[in-house]
Amino acid sequence: MRAVVQRVASASVDVDGETVGAIERGFLALVGVARDDTDEDAASIASKIAALRIFNDDAGDMNLGLREVDGSVLAVSQFTLYGDARKGRRPSFIEAAPGNAAEPLFERVVALIRREGLRVQTGRFGAQMRVSLVNEGPVTILLDSRKRF
């Protein structure tokens, strides 16, 4: 499982002109599920997202997490995180899990982050979404459940 986590001042997701998820300060987490991902991968990614300390403290150091800044998470499924463009000009998505396998694991990530007591909004799984964000920093972190922490 992969996630791209961006520290944001605000972020939102629209589907067909309707805002389906929006947050102020927090993380936009784009989450991709691989074909062979398991609950263990979901738990690993959720734990890392919930515990990331990438907000600046008074000294300007990245020492604060979501709880300390009263932040939220906007989680958006994104199968293209498993796009492989090493050959040719059109990416292959063979490593991405099909929707019926990916959706429960994505929902598991969301549930586990909520279990940590954090507020989570989501996009709409499988929909064509418009994601808007104000990246703060900019700060962008790549997470991969296969690269153990």
Which tokens is 116 given? 């940590």
**Helical ranges in 1-149 per DSSP H:** 39-51, 99-115
Burial (Cβ within 10 Å: 0-12, 13-18, ≥19) of residue 59 = exposed
Burial (Cβ within 10 Å: 0-12, 13-18, ≥19) of residue 49 = buried
d(CA 25, CA 8): 6
Helix (H) or strand (E) run with residue 136 in it = strand 130-144
For residues 59 and 94, the answer to whether their CB atoms sit within 8 Å is: no
Residues taking part in catalysis: 78-80
